[in-house]
Structure 1
Amino acid sequence: MTGAGSGIGRSVALALAGAGWSVAVAGRRTGPLEETAAAAGQGADVLPVRADVSAPGDVTTLFETVRERYGRLDLLFNNAGTFGPAGVPLEDIAYEEWRQVVDVNLTGAFLCAQGAFRVMKEQDPQGGRIINNGSISAHVPRPNSIAYTATKHAMTGLTKSLSLDGRPYRIACGQIDIGNAATDMTARMRTGILQANGQLAVEPVMDAADVARTVLHMAELPLEANVQFATVMATAMPYIGRG
């Protein structure tokens, strides 16, 4: 599981560990990963692995570590992501800022899926499951969010290609599109965020644990069944009718 040091990643890691899964939690900072492992409690098998998903060498080491520790890989939750510069008009976005969002959200997801494919194809019994963290922004954008929105739309294409390419190897791939889970990334929604009509509005949020329960359901299906796309959102958020 990537991006497991906080927010949705931590909530999902705790849900999986609580259900008896052995979980490798990855992220750029060791401290938050160790906090996630500690929060799982004694008896839980949670392995912190420092890895930057945008660095191919880190991703290779991550999957080698998982295979050495557990002998196989049954689930990848491609969760790591960054929003990028908030509220910046597209003409003012620096190339480096654009590149960072693409490298983490899209290239990082690809690299991790590639690593998972290599393990899942070779193991016996063959197969496994990949769940990609999309977003409501995989469907509709927010104002001034071009980098994030572009990568999340691309995530949908990645999910579909992984699903097709994984069929011969019993590798299932689905996507969960999340709207307004209460995390550090969404903190500004509780104080007022720009809407399509130019006004600021406070938006409702939901507990990240509600997302975790959905991911757990997707993860525990037999490989003969797959949730291809699921949308989990704060009920009253301005998504239906956004704009």
Structure 2
Amino acid sequence: MERVQGKVALITGGARGLGEATGRLFAQEGATVVLTDVLDGDGATVAEEIRAAGGKATYLHQDTTDEAAWTEVVDGIVAEHGRLDIVVNNAGIVVDATVEDTTLEDFRRVNAINNEAVFLGTREAIRVMKDQDPKGGSIVNISSIAGLVGIENLAAYNASKGAVRLFTKSAALHVAKAGYKIRVNSVHPSYTWTPMVQFLGDNTGDRQAFFEALSAVHPLGRPGEPMDIAWGVLYLASDEASWVTGSELVIDGGITAG
């Protein structure tokens, strides 16, 4: 129960889904958790529930596409807690559209949140982690199996998550060769039953039928649950993964194995 004991963690998109599950798990494992999102009511509730359960958590409003806001959030965390050990770049959106149906506006919006914000979060984390005492930390970027394989109706999402995969490797090599003691890894979930995936199900007109279809195509017989992914993020964030960087952790029920 102490796998990230004493560490300070920032988790974007922390109000729901994967971010919420990761925040709750980190707090259970001893971290001080800062959740950020634009869903202020949900985020504040999650932080309050973590505290009520004996964990340490706060919630901050953050538009992850805003460069100045990143600096403000990170500097505020360091000012309050003295350091920043873990950053989980999790905030993300999806547009359900093929390349023919995707507008330039939607393409840019998806990539701004899913890709550019990951760059900003990684850069800001490095800025403070490289000089803190003891220096170092762990950055976990949430990609997707859509960063590994194509999905015909997720053109913009594919582009954004593929970019996260290779950007993560570039950043990991840089900080390792610079001697910063910072690790950078990506996580690649398959369809996980979060509000975002439920939205895709609603777009089909039958959420339950979509759930059953996802269960059928995953070799392990079901779509993912948020905690399935949170456990993987916890491993990468913890000292157990001290020799893991530039890697891609695939958590997908076996769907990309065949």
1:24-35 equivalent positions in 2, closer than 5 A? 24-35=34-45
* Distance change >3 Å, CA 90–CA 189, structure 1 → 2: closer
- Contact between 1:189 and 1:202, CA under 8 Å: does it hold in 2? no
Paired position in structure 2 for 1:59: 70
Indicate whether 1:96 and 2:115 are aligned.
Answer: no
Mean CA deviation greater in 52-61 or 213-222: 213-222
Letter in 1 for 2:137: G
Indicate whether 1:202 and 2:213 are aligned.
Answer: yes
- Contact between 1:121 and 1:169, CA under 8 Å: does it hold in 2? yes
* Distance change >3 Å, CA 55–CA 68, structure 1 → 2: same
Q: Gaps (5+ residues) in structure 1?
A: 194-199
Alpha-carbon distance in structure 2 between the residues aligned to 1:171 and 1:201: 41
Paired position in structure 2 for 1:165: 174
* Displacement after TM superposition at 1:27 (Å): 0.8
TM-score, normalising length: structure 1: 0.89
TM-score, normalising length: structure 2: 0.84
Paired position in structure 1 for 2:85: 74
Q: Deviations over 1:180-200 (max 9, x none)?
A: 21101111566796xxxxxx9
Alpha-carbon distance in structure 1 between the residues aligned to 2:12 and 2:175: 20
Paired position in structure 1 for 2:244: 226
SS at the partner of 1:48?
strand
Paired position in structure 2 for 1:123: 132
**What percentage of residue pairs aligned between the two structures are identical?**
27
- Contact between 1:190 and 1:203, CA under 8 Å: does it hold in 2? no
Paired position in structure 1 for 2:207: none
Give RMSD over aligned pairs: 2.1
Q: Gaps (5+ residues) in structure 2?
A: 1-10, 205-210, 216-222
* Displacement after TM superposition at 1:29 (Å): 2.4
Q: Deviations over 1:63-103 (max 9, x none)?
A: 0111111110110111011112x1x3323322211110111
Paired position in structure 1 for 2:233: 215
Displaced runs of 4 or more, over 6 A: none
How many residue pairs are counted as aligned between the two chains?
A: 232
Paired position in structure 1 for 2:123: 114
SS at the partner of 2:149?
coil
